Structure 1
C-alpha cells in the first residue's frame, strides 16, 4: 500500500537547497517511504532558480505586504512567480493525502518563518512560506507538517494518523457518493473523534444525522473539512482515558472481576503517565479476540495505521 504525499524535495534528500545541500529527514526517507509515495517538489527550483543560488527571505513592507526577495537586494522580488507556481501545481494535488514541508524556509515553512522588515529586524512570531501559504489556503483539509516537528512523537503520530485517515476517507467514500458510505465511515471513527475532540464528536454526529437534508457533493466537502479539523486536535490523555474506559464497558459481562480490575489499573496507569497507551490497548485487543464485538472490531481507534511505524510508543 502506498499513499501519495507531497514533500519538499530537500527533506527527501535531494540536493536542491540554495547552498547545494539537502535537509533529509530520516524518518520520512527511511520509515514513511515504506508506506507513502512521496511526490517531491522544490518551489525555488520550480520557478527557475539555480543550484546553488543566492539566499532569499520574507520581507514585510511598511504597508504590511509580505514579499519574497533576494536576501541582499530587496528589489529582486520573486513573490508573484512563487505564487503563480503554487497555483499551477495545486490543481494537480488532488491525489495527495498529506504534505511534509521544510521548516523555516521562506517558500515552504509552515509557521514561524523569519519575517524581516527593512531596518534589518524581524517581526515576532514570523510568518508562513509563500508556497505553503497558497497550499494551505487552497487545500485547508490537507494534513501539512514541517520536517522538524516530525521529531516530536506526538506531532509525528498526529500527522501520520491524519494522512492515513484522509486516505481511508477517500477510499471509503469513493467517487459515487452514497448515504451509506458516509455513515459507515463515520461509524468507524466515532471513538477517534471522541478522543480528539468531544465537541467535534457531537457536532459531526449531528451533521451526519442530517445527511439526507444535504446535497451529497456539498456534504462531502463539509464533512471532509470538519472531520480533518477535528482530528488535527491532538488527543489528550484525559480524552484517550475516557475512550479506553468506554471500550472497557463493552466487556463488563465477559470479564472476571480480576480481569476488570487489571484493565482498569492499566488504564489509570496510562492516564498517570506510567504506561504508553499501547499497554491498555494491547489488553483490550486481546479481549476483543476472545469476545468479538462487530462494532468494536471496526473502530479505527484500535488500529489506526501499521503498528510497524511504532507511533504510539511515545503516547
Structure 2
C-alpha cells in the first residue's frame, strides 16, 4: 500500500479556520482508489479550535512567523513541532498533498505580511509545509490547486509511484538492487532530464560502495530531476529512441504508422497515450526484456488516465 499525507480539509473534513473544507475530487475519488491517506490539519493538531481566528505569516519572507491576527500569538514553533513529533509517522509517506495558500500548509505563493501592516507579498511557504520539506527533501509534495493542471497532476502521481517503489527497496538496498532500480527508470529519467540521466549513469558506473550518503544523494537527485514535467520535445526524443527497438520486427507500413503517430504527438495533434498504446501493442507481439522493465510505459495505474491530457 502507498501512504500519502494530505491536508485534512482536502478530504472534506471541516477543519478550516472558517469551519469549512476544500474537498478535492481528485484526492477523494481518483487517487484515493490507489492510496491510503494520512489526513492532518496542523492548526487543529496544535490545539486551535474550529472555527478559529485567522493566522498570518509575518516578517521575513524566508523565515516568517505564523501569528494569530487578533491576539498576536506566535504559533511558529508549535506548527514546526507538529511535524517533528510525528516524524516517524511522516517517514512512512511516499507523498503529500497540501492545501494551497494556507499559512501552515501552503507550498508556495503564501502571503507574507509586513509587521503591523496589510502590505504583503505572495512569496511565502507554510510553516508546516516548510518543515516537512526540510525533513523529507526527496518526498513528492504538491498543492491541491496545482493538481487541476493535467501536466502537474501527472507529474506528481508519477513521482509518487517512483518514490514509493524506492521506499520499499531501501531497507535491503544493495548495489545490484540500486542498479536494477535505476535501469527500470532510465527512460523516465531521460524524458525529464537528459543531463541528470547521463550524470547519474556515470556516477553509478563508478560506484564502489553503496553508502547511506550516496543513497540520500541519489534519490534527491532523481526526484528533483523528475519534478520538472517532461515536454513534448523530450517525450518525442524517448519515443523515437524506443521506435528503434521495433524497426527490425515490424513491416514498413507499420514503421511509417508509428513514426507518423509520434510526429502527430510532437505537434500536439495526439495525446502521449496514443503512441504509447501502439508501442505497448508491438511490445506484446515482439517482447523485449529491457523495454518490458521500463516504468516509462506504465508509471502508475492505467485507470487514472493521466496521459490522455498530455
Question: TM-score, with normalisation over the residues of structure 2?
Answer: 0.96
CA 1:48–1:288 in structure 2 vs 1: closer, same or farther (change >3 Å)? same
Equivalent of 2:287 in 277, 287, 292: 292
Matched, 1:181 2:180: no
CA–CA separation in structure 1 for the residues paired with 2:62 and 2:253: 65
Matched, 1:278 2:276: no
In structure 2, the partner of 1:58 is 57
Q: Which ranges in structure 1 are unaligned for 5 or more consecutive residues?
A: none
Structure 1 runs (4+) deviating above 6 angstroms are none
In structure 1, the partner of 2:193 is 197
CA–CA separation in structure 2 for the residues paired with 1:24 and 1:64: 29
Equivalent of 1:134 in 127, 131, 135: 131
Matched, 1:166 2:197: no
Is the 2:62–2:124 contact (alpha carbons within 8 Å) kept by the matching residues of 1?
no
Pairwise CA distance, 1:277:
0.6
Task: Please give the root-mean-square deviation of Cα atoms over the aligned residues, in Å.
Answer: 1.4
SS at match of 2:85: helix
SS at match of 2:188: helix
Q: Which ranges in structure 2 are unaligned for 5 or more consecutive residues?
A: none
Pairwise CA distance, 1:283:
0.7
CA 1:263–1:196 in structure 2 vs 1: closer, same or farther (change >3 Å)? same
Is the 2:94–2:167 contact (alpha carbons within 8 Å) kept by the matching residues of 1?
no
In structure 2, the partner of 1:27 is 26
In structure 2, the partner of 1:107 is 104
Is the 2:79–2:127 contact (alpha carbons within 8 Å) kept by the matching residues of 1?
yes
CA–CA separation in structure 2 for the residues paired with 1:242 and 1:64: 39
Pairwise CA distance, 1:221:
1.3
CA–CA separation in structure 1 for the residues paired with 2:104 and 2:119: 17
1:191-237 CA-partner distances (Å, limit 9, x unpaired)? 0010000011011111211222x343222212111111111111111
Work out the number of aligned pairs and report it: 310
CA 1:245–1:21 in structure 2 vs 1: closer, same or farther (change >3 Å)? same
Pairwise CA distance, 1:175:
1.2
Pairwise CA distance, 1:78:
1.0
Pairwise CA distance, 1:271:
0.4
CA–CA separation in structure 2 for the residues paired with 1:8 and 1:65: 22
1:236-291 CA-partner distances (Å, limit 9, x unpaired)? 11110000000000011111111111100000000000000110111111111111
CA–CA separation in structure 1 for the residues paired with 2:163 and 2:119: 37
SS at match of 1:57: strand
CA–CA separation in structure 1 for the residues paired with 2:99 and 2:165: 26
CA–CA separation in structure 1 for the residues paired with 2:48 and 2:275: 52
1:63-102 CA-partner distances (Å, limit 9, x unpaired)? 98511111234x3211121122222123321110000000
CA–CA separation in structure 2 for the residues paired with 1:204 and 1:219: 11
In structure 2, the partner of 1:13 is 12
Is the 1:114–1:122 contact (alpha carbons within 8 Å) kept by the matching residues of 2?
no
Matched, 1:259 2:257: no
CA–CA separation in structure 1 for the residues paired with 2:167 and 2:64: 35
Q: Which moved more, 1:112-121 or 1:189-198?
A: 112-121
CA–CA separation in structure 1 for the residues paired with 2:246 and 2:23: 46
CA–CA separation in structure 2 for the residues paired with 1:239 and 1:89: 39
CA 1:291–1:65 in structure 2 vs 1: closer, same or farther (change >3 Å)? closer
CA–CA separation in structure 2 for the residues paired with 1:90 and 1:43: 13
Question: TM-score, with normalisation over the residues of structure 1?
Answer: 0.95
Equivalent of 1:124 in 112, 115, 121: 121
SS at match of 2:156: helix
